[in-house]
Amino acid sequence: MRKHFTLKTGCLLGDQAAICLMKLMAGEKGSRGYTYTSGEEFGYYYEPRCRKWIVFDNRHNTCLMEQCNTDKEAEAFLYDDGDLFAA
């Protein structure tokens, strides 16, 4: 039997994802404020300057970020299996 996972509600896409990631990075300086002020953010967007998909996951207050070649790779980075972190 093949498992089928879906992204949880709340995945940010496009401009919303880019804006959220920039806010997380700007809040990181100093006391790493994103750990305390933000949580549950995750999403991906296409960055034309580097021709890559940028994906980030802050659901566990660790704000991991990755560059992917396709949108499918970006989605795969975000999948959870029983609330275990995907990356």
Is residue 34 a part of any domain in this protein? no
* Number of domain units in the chain: 1
How do the pLDDT tens digits run along the chain, 87 residues long?
A: 444 444 556 788 888 889 888 888 876 555 555 555 566 788 899 999 999 999 998 887 778 889 999 999 998 888 765 444 444
Q: What are phi and psi of 74, to 5 degrees?
A: -65, -45
| Own/partner pairs, 47-50, CB within 8 angstroms, 24+ separation | 47/18
Is residue 33 a part of any domain in this protein? no
Is residue 76 a part of any domain in this protein? yes
CB 9 within 8 A of CB 78: no
Is residue 77 a part of any domain in this protein? yes
Amino acid at the residue 1: M
Distance from C-alpha of 80 to C-alpha of 2, rounded to nearest angstrom: 15
Is residue 35 a part of any domain in this protein? no
Is residue 17 a part of any domain in this protein? yes
Domain of residue 22: give its range.
9-27+40-87
